[in-house]
């Protein structure tokens, strides 16, 4: 591994062809990277020392593509089993992009970071990020854990990200029609990012690269939130975007920490393996609105504020204005002095699958058996048949091995569709999640829902009974039954596509919902 701060020319880039005669600064620390990013005019400084960067004009449209050695031409329709990719590239197109991108960075200064990801059972997956932007190196250092010499030795990283925001790919030569591209050669562990400086491009490239090796190591990659309480009990929150994972997990973590013992929140990329959950990312990567709700400390020295306005006089960032902007992000480094960077979290004691029911037919909380939990998790991951076949058996084994309490939490509507019914309040959702985590719900009575098959508590102190029995919130029970039958039918249709992955036990369930929630 290169030593911190040393330079080399591009000819020493392991895993890449000769890239010219420019310099590479390897593994600079946070202070050095901040200094260089400011000196190079990449960023501005906030009054607290955060780096403020504007990327919204860079790569307005980002295309995620992958090389396919069997592809005959760019733009061919992708099979249904390929999830999230805009198109495939031929090997020739990818190699042309790689050659031209390397020629572009060949006379430029690059910043390299050697990083690693915990892969369970004491395994660490080495990876490398290179960019001609110093703040990208800082971002990467925040996102992933910097490797110590003992982690890598002289090992060549299996996975490499090379980022050149100023290079614009062309559809004629490179098969990419968008302004910016994330081009993946998964077989060779290489991601090329061109035409965009946005942090989400680097984060997405890292996530796609580590997905396969993690799965091979028996670790299931997840996008969720883990709240770790004072007794080490872990609550895992999964669900659709905007369903409230960060908010509910943050409230739970704060509540558990009231006795003075430390509580912890891990929001973002997680891995679930035999030993439990691991944090795949090292930083807090959040929208400004989430940062405010979770009561994080103000972004200070070394934090990255992306597409957030600064007051021209005071240099104070306007987090309120950026709160609901899709392209605004706050990336905070985790402290390194109190063990917060320890990635191992342990097995989940509770699993909460969050959905936003737009029909109003679901109760605010329900208890799931393992088969129902498996179906709901795959549904909220929007799994294709191929992805379900890959993840389904592993998730089944993890649910069986760790046996968490499994819950479906509806943060959407009750008593009718949006505009007719009423939204489940944040206070009610918090109360229900707290009761499930504390075991309070286990002492009450339950009913089995006739449409979805899951169990629903009949009452909880402080909760409107209509939140637990939505039929009472509709104008009449027949209206609820019609909405519930339609919702169950939609979900059953989705499960039919995942039949092979779910297994006999899960195929026989009618667990409910994830379709109308999206």
For 11-49, the pLDDT digits (tens) are 445 545 544 556 899 999 999 999 999 999 999 999 989
Global pTM?
A: 0.83
pLDDT in the model for residue 145:
83
**φ, ψ dihedrals at 129, nearest 5°:** -125, 130
300 in a domain, yes or no? no
Does 192 lie in the same domain as 91? yes
Does 229 lie in the same domain as 191? no
Candidates 235, 186, 208, 160; CA nearest to 68 is 186
Which of 45-49, 70-74, 117-121, 331-335 comes out lowest in average pLDDT?
A: 70-74
446 in a domain, yes or no? yes
473 in a domain, yes or no? yes
Q: What is the DSSP string of 385-437?
A: HHHHHHHHHHHHHHHHHH--EEEEEE-SEESSSTTTSEEPPHHHHHHHHHHHH
Does 366 lie in the same domain as 265? yes
38 in a domain, yes or no? yes
pLDDT in the model for residue 146:
82
Give the C-alpha separation, 269 to 235, whole Å.
Answer: 15
Which of 158-162, 289-293, 477-481 comes out lowest in average pLDDT?
A: 289-293
138: containing domain: 7-42+60-216
**What does DSSP assign to residue 333?**
P
> For the chain, how many structural domains are there in total?
2
Does 393 lie in the same domain as 475? yes
pLDDT in the model for residue 16:
56
Q: Which of 150, 181, 216 is the last residue of a domain?
A: 216
Neighbours of 160 (CB within 10 A): 24
- The residue among 392 and 255 whose pLDDT is bigger is 392
Does 212 lie in the same domain as 224? no
pLDDT in the model for residue 391:
84
297 in a domain, yes or no? no
- The sign of the torsion formed by the CA atoms of 164, 167, 172, 173 equals negative
71: pLDDT strictly greater than 80: no
pLDDT in the model for residue 156:
56
Does 267 lie in the same domain as 142? no
Neighbours of 466 (CB within 10 A): 16
pLDDT in the model for residue 257:
46
pLDDT in the model for residue 197:
93
Does 362 lie in the same domain as 474? yes
Does 210 lie in the same domain as 264? no
pLDDT in the model for residue 450:
92
pLDDT in the model for residue 139:
94
pLDDT in the model for residue 233:
84
Give the C-alpha separation, 260 to 145, whole Å.
Answer: 28
Candidates 125, 342, 114; CA nearest to 215 is 125
The secondary structure element, H or E, covering residue 304 is strand 304-306
Q: Quick one: three-class SS letters along 425-439?
A: CHHHHHHHHHHHHHC
Q: What is the mean pLDDT of the chain?
A: 82
Q: Which of 216, 245, 260 is the last residue of a domain?
A: 216
> What is the average per-residue pLDDT within 302-322?
87
pLDDT in the model for residue 246:
82
> What is the average per-residue pLDDT within 338-365?
84
492: pLDDT strictly greater than 80: yes
- The residue among 259 and 456 whose pLDDT is bigger is 456
- The residue among 450 and 78 whose pLDDT is bigger is 450
């Amino acid at each position: 591994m290169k030593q911190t701060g040393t330079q080399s020319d591009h000819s020493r880039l392991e895993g890449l062809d000769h890239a010219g005669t420019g310099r590479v600064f390897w593994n600079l620390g946070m202070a050095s990277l901040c200094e260089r990013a400011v000196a190079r005019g990449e960023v501005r400084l906030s009054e607290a020392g955060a780096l403020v960067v504007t990327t919204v004009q860079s790569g307005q449209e980002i295309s995620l593509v992958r090389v396919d050695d069997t592809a005959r031409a760019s733009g061919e329709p992708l099979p249904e089993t390929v999830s999230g990719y805009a198109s495939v590239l031929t090997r020739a197109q990818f190699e042309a992009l790689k050659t031209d991108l390397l020629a572009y960075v060949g006379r430029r200064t690059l910043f390299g970071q050697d990083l690693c990801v915990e892969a369970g059972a004491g395994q660490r997956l080495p990876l490398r990020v290179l960019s001609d932007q110093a703040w990208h190196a800082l971002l990467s250092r925040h996102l992933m854990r910097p490797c110590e010499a003992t982690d890598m030795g002289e090992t060549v990283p299996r996975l490499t990200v090379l980022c050149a925001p100023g290079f614009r790919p062309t559809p004629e030569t490179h098969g990419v029609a968008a302004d910016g591209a994330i081009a993946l050669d998964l077989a060779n562990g290489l991601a090329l990012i061109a035409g965009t400086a946005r942090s989400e491009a680097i984060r997405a490239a890292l996530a796609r690269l580590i997905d396969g090796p993690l799965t091979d190591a028996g670790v299931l990659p997840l996008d969720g939130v883990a709240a770790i309480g004072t007794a080490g009990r872990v609550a895992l929150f999964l669900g659709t975007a905007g369903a409230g994972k960060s908010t509910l997990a943050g409230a739970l973590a704060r509540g558990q920490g009231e006795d003075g013992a430390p509580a912890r929140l891990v929001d973002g990329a997680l891995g679930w393996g035999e030993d439990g959950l691991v944090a795949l990312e090292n930083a807090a990567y959040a929208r400004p609105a989430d940062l405010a709700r979770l009561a994080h400390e103000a972004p200070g020295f070394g934090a990255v504020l992306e597409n957030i306005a600064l007051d021209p006089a005071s240099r104070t960032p306007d987090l309120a204005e950026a709160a609901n902007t899709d392209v605004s992000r706050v990336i905070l480094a985790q402290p390194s002095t109190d063990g917060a960077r320890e990635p191992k979290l342990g097995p989940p004691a509770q699993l909460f699958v969050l959905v936003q029911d737009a029909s109003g037919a679901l109760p605010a909380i329900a208890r799931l058996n393992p088969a129902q939990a498996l179906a709901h998790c795959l549904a909220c991951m929007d799994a294709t048949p191929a992805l379900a076949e890959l993840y389904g058996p592993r998730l089944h084994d993890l649910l069986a091995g760790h046996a968490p309490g499994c819950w479906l939490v509806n943060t959407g509507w009750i008593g009718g569709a949006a505009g007719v019914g009423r939204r489940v309040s944040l206070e009610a959702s918090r109360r229900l999640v707290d009761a499930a985590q504390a075991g309070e719900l286990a002492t009450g009575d339950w009913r089995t829902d006739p449409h979805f098959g899951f169990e629903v508590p009949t009452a909880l102190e402080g909760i409107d009974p209509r939140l637990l029995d939505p039929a009472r919130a509709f104008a009449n029970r027949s209206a609820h039954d019609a909405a519930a039958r339609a919702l169950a039918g939609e979900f059953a249709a989705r499960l039919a596509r995942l039949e092979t992955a779910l297994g006999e036990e899960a195929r026989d369930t009618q667990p409910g919902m994830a379709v109308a929630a999206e």
